[in-house]
Structure 1
Amino acid sequence: MLKQRIITAIWLIPLVLGAIFWLPTEYFSWALIPVFLIAAKEWGQIIDKRCQITQWSFTVTIGVLLVALNIFVPADELWFKGHLHPVYLSVILIGAMWWAISFLLVLSFPKSSAMWQKSHMFKSMFGQLTLIPCFAALIALKGLSSEAAPYYGGTLVFLVMIVVWATDSGAYFAGKALGKHKLMPNVSPAKTIEGLLGGLATSMIVVFGIMTASPEQELGLVVVVTLFVALVSAVGDLSESMFKRVADIKDSGTILPGHGGILDRIDSLTAALPVFTLIYIAFWM
């Protein structure tokens, strides 16, 4: 399994980095749609893993919404005088509110599942709230690139990814080596408190990198934001685990050998990206 994960990462990471740094935002926004359609198809299994019609119906719905977003708010019109287009800002705000609700659903699981586990409507709505704000946040951050700073937006997207990857990796290895106390056994039996703390500690490597590259940043703010984004990413991971547990699904897909599906790889990012985007707008714009 570890060998497969490494092989997949070797070809996947350069592809991702090439897209976020060198693909113009207007092309990036369209290139993302097939990726999110695969994630939507995987979420369709959470809605009803036995019904292909339901899965494809949800996928088409996500596709139509993302295409509409790209058409009605072109990537080159996202930002004007330091302000994000109100449609995108609204979508990202709704996404952040969803993650606050999702956190409560995770905390109260399995009692909370009585409300939604048999409802296609609720699970479809949860999928839209998970995927669409993540897409909007990705495009919004990427759109901060300019002729004067062509890699700035890509750097912000990469920064969030690095925080998530560092947190996930630290949690995995700390959990393997030190994990004794279950974090939320009803949601994800493999996750431990020690793993979470290890992940948060590992995220501080990102803080060191930021302060080394950009020492003018306020250290306290960078530490708080990094820790908060790392915690939010853990909520995204736990949320998907909760939905997969109810649907009796181990991996969302098999498209990425050793990693599962697209949804398995972006679950933490679906929460971290909208929240980071709002924090960035509030403190750095």
Structure 2
Amino acid sequence: MPEETSGKKQLNNFQQRVLVGIAGGALFIGGIYWSQWTFAVLFLALTLLGIREFYQLLSLRGFSPNYNAGIVLGCALFILVFLLQLNLVSLSALYALPPILFFVFISELFRKKEQPFVNIALTLLGMLYVGGSFSMLPILGFLNGQYSWQVIMGTLLLIWTSDSGAYFAGKTFGRHKLFPRISPGKTWEGWIGGAVFSLAVGYVLSMYLLDLALPYWLGIALIVSIFGVLGDLIESLLKRSLQVKDSGTIIPGHGGILDRFDSLLLVVPFIVAFLKLF
């Protein structure tokens, strides 16, 4: 009887993961595809929730990041970059960033918390790790001057397919551990399989998503295969250091925002740098 109950529970968990994955995927794809405004609302919400989740993790270990300042300023950074792409504000608005960042220092004077500079550092870390990365997505969305979903959607597709390729290659051929201290399940064979699969998908994308030529899609695929894994490992390192299994529970059956977007957070800055420099 206990085995039957356990089996039903596993089936229910799997069904929940599938249903939430389908619904979330549809919402996600629709938000990016529909318009620049739905894209902005979607990722502004993810920025807010992601920074909040990061601070909640730190609070579990007794740290005291400044939730309000970090969330407000992280979201303000996303909005600023988005408005810059629409030419609704000028580049001179970037001069406001240093004073805005120092607001975190000033606010700590009034919080009366222990280890004030640890709190400041962790508050800024959340803004940079989550808010800074998500804030670079509008640059990809407006790469050619007008909003287009192609580069963002293509990047996400490459991340998902790279993960899938790595999983199946690792299950089939995995022998040599990639980073056993942090993520015992990852193997070199899995990483190579994910990279090959990602490059193949990048080639296919170049035939249908014409905003970028083949060399750029292959470059993005290579960046995803390298820095996507590193982003995953960094988030695993964070969770291990804080002794938690998942970053949150906001996505039923899938964990938290950081669990789902760990690869994207590290990949996006490198893709932006690649496309802008080359």
Q: Distance in 1 between matches of 2:39 and 2:31?
A: 7
Per the TM alignment, residue 215 of structure 1 is displaced from its structure 2 partner at its CA by 7.8
Segment drifting more, 259-268 vs 5-14? 5-14
Q: Give the root-mean-square deviation of aligned CA atoms.
A: 2.9
Tell me, yes or no, if the aligned pair for 1:20 and 1:142 is still in contact at 8 Å.
no
Per the alignment, residue 41 of structure 1 pairs with 52
Structure 2: any 5+ residue segments left out of the alignment?
A: 1-12, 98-117
Counterparts of 1:1-285 in structure 2 under 5 Å? Answer: 1-25=13-37, 28-51=39-62, 54=64, 57-58=66-67, 60-69=68-77, 73=80, 75-78=82-85, 85=91, 121-144=120-143, 152=148, 154-213=149-208, 219-283=214-278
Segment drifting more, 218-227 vs 239-248? 218-227
**Structure 1 residues 250, 126: CA separation in 2 closer, same or farther (over 3 Å shift)?**
same
**Count, aligned residues:** 242
Per the alignment, residue 107 of structure 2 pairs with none
Per the TM alignment, residue 2 of structure 1 is displaced from its structure 2 partner at its CA by 4.2
Per the TM alignment, residue 33 of structure 1 is displaced from its structure 2 partner at its CA by 2.8
1:1-21 CA-to-partner distances (Å, cap 9, x unmatched) read 544332221101110111111
SS in structure 2 at match of 1:186: coil
Q: Distance in 1 between matches of 2:81 and 2:239?
A: 34
Tell me, yes or no, if the aligned pair for 1:180 and 1:192 is still in contact at 8 Å.
yes
Tell me, yes or no, if the aligned pair for 1:182 and 1:189 is still in contact at 8 Å.
yes
Q: Distance in 1 between matches of 2:92 and 2:154?
A: 24
1:162-212 CA-to-partner distances (Å, cap 9, x unmatched) read 111111111122222222211111111111111111111110232222232
Sequence identity percentage: 32
Per the TM alignment, residue 217 of structure 1 is displaced from its structure 2 partner at its CA by 6.2
Per the TM alignment, residue 144 of structure 1 is displaced from its structure 2 partner at its CA by 4.2
User: TM-score, normalising length from structure 1?
Assistant: 0.73
Q: Which residue identity lines up with residue 138 of structure 1 in the other structure?
A: L
Q: Which residue identity lines up with residue 272 of structure 1 in the other structure?
A: V
Tell me, yes or no, if the aligned pair for 1:183 and 1:193 is still in contact at 8 Å.
yes
User: TM-score, normalising length from structure 2?
Assistant: 0.75
**Structure 1 residues 160, 54: CA separation in 2 closer, same or farther (over 3 Å shift)?**
same
Per the TM alignment, residue 252 of structure 1 is displaced from its structure 2 partner at its CA by 0.5
Larger Rg: 2
Tell me, yes or no, if the aligned pair for 1:137 and 1:274 is still in contact at 8 Å.
yes
